[in-house]
Amino acid sequence: MADDDETIAQRNRRERRKRNIAIALVLGGMVLLFFLMTIVRLGGHVFDGTA
Amino acid sequence: MALSDTFGLERPIATVGDFFALLKPRVMSLVIFTGLAGIVVAPGHIDVLSAFTALLCIAVGAGASGALNMAYDSDIDGLMSRTATRPIPRGVIARGDVLVFGWGLSVASVATMGLLINVLAAALLAFTILFYVVVYTLWLKRSTAQNIVIGGLAGALPPAIGWAAVTGSLTFAPLVLVAITFLWTPPHFWALALYRSDDYARAGVPMLPVVKGKAHTRWQILFYALVLFPAGIAPAFIGLGGPLYLAVSALGGAAMIYGAVNVLRERDAVKEPAARRLFGISLIYLFAIFAALIAEHLIGLLPFGPWA
């Protein structure tokens, strides 16, 4: 019984870590997407002064 | 060590895979496919990153709808064998968590579409999500045998969202693509409902075979399969599809009618082998016609199209 509980706790720690990594990747991806879309929309206009 | 560990109170928490399952990945793949078709057939130019963003928003919006559907249907999902293994009936994710997850993703996908693509595409995406969740899941599904016919509009809209993402407008052409998926939904779902009718009856969902009987459902399936044929080949006559599309949609449409006739002549009302086959045929049909459309536009198989 005690072994089982420990296994669940360990499993939960592992899964929680995976969930945290997944959330970090999604948020990082969102930031990157907004950054890249901004660059695409600005195009060359930053450099020629029309942005 | 946490107190809950000491007393053995800790329960298994939901995995990343459980949250992914809430997004109904198989439905999502079909939506991505039809949304992509809307993007590639639309006139005008869209850069690859914008197209990716639009498709991502459509996919996440569809996933969010799926999650919300599972949250609001969690009471009946547990009663049906097909849906009993979903994360909420299994008890790994709380219904409230799924509501937050689903509504959060809905707002995020619509906001991202509005900020990065355009307002019309965002409005259509919002309409699609609300129609699926509020009109279909919360209202029609439990109240009328025409639930999946009307609710099918939500699943049919992605090509129009894709088109709007490119052009910022809506015309007749993308609505033809919407009409195809709209007319495809009844034979697809009713085929499933024929061999899962016990499930739906147990859960109290008024699917057509439960309310009007199997014989009536078989005729309705044939009716929609017949109407689907001309709608399916229509893109070839309004400049959206070429010879490849015409051939695939005509063959596919014929296969749907053939499958529907077999469902009509079915004598094994327990196992419903013909309905199972039609369900498979319908999945292949939708994938095949949209794949043909995408192939013609993306790799230049359309003889008189803008990419030729």
Å between A32 CA and nearest CA of chain B: 12
Task: Please tell me the predicted confidence (pLDDT) of residue B48.
Answer: 92
Residue B1 lies in a domain: no
Q: At what angle do helices A2-42 and B95-116 cross, to 10 degrees?
A: 10
Q: Does B280 lie in the same domain as B216?
A: yes
Q: Does B44 lie in the same domain as B155?
A: yes
CATH code at position B113: 1.10.357.140
CA distances to B41, B54, B288 from B37, rounded to whole Å, are 6, 12, 12
Residue B187 lies in a domain: yes
Domain count, chain B: 2
Domain count, chain A: 1
Q: Decide if pLDDT at B9 tops 70.
A: no
Q: Does B189 lie in the same domain as B139?
A: no
Round to whole Å and give the CA distance between A27 and A36.
Answer: 14
> B117 to chain A: nearest residue by CA?
A37
Q: Does B293 lie in the same domain as B176?
A: yes
Round to whole Å and give the CA distance between B157 and B167.
Answer: 16
HSE, CB side, 13 Å, CA atoms: give it for residue B13.
15
Round to whole Å and give the CA distance between B47 and B53.
Answer: 10
B12·A12 Cβ contact <8 A: yes
Closest among B290, B267, B308, B292 to B32, alpha carbons compared? B290
- Sequence-ordered list of residues with C-beta below 8 angstroms from that of B214, at least 6 positions apart, any chain: B194, B197, B269
Nearest-CB residue to B49 (from A15, A18, A36): A36
Q: Does B176 lie in the same domain as B154?
A: no
Which letter does DSSP use for residue B237 in this model? Answer: G
Q: Does B186 lie in the same domain as B108?
A: no
The model carries a pTM of 0.90
Round to whole Å and give the CA distance between A15 and B239.
Answer: 51
Give the type of residue at B4: S
Q: Does B246 lie in the same domain as B304?
A: yes
Task: Please tell me the predicted confidence (pLDDT) of residue A51.
Answer: 56
Segment B53-79, tens digit of pLDDT: 999 999 999 999 999 999 999 999 999
Residue B47 forms contact with A (CB below 8 Å): yes
Backbone angles phi, psi at B168, to 5 degrees: 75, 10
* Average confidence score pLDDT of chain A: 84
Provide the residue range defining the domain that includes A25: 2-48
A5 vs B35, which has greater pLDDT? B35
Q: Decide if pLDDT at B119 tops 60.
A: yes
Q: Does B160 lie in the same domain as B40?
A: yes
B10·A8 Cβ contact <8 A: yes
For B202, the token pair is 């147990």
Round to whole Å and give the CA distance between B288 and B252.
Answer: 8
- A3, A8, A35, A39: which to substitute to probe chain B, counting the most B Cβ within 10 Å? A8
Q: Does B62 lie in the same domain as B134?
A: yes
Cα-Cα-Cα-Cα dihedral sign, residues A3, A4, A7, A13: negative
Q: Does B162 lie in the same domain as B21?
A: yes
Indicate the residue among B115, B139, B168 that finishes a domain.
Answer: B168
Provide the residue range defining the domain that includes B106: 15-168
Q: Does B256 lie in the same domain as B119?
A: no
Segment B215-234, tens digit of pLDDT: 999 999 999 999 999 999 99
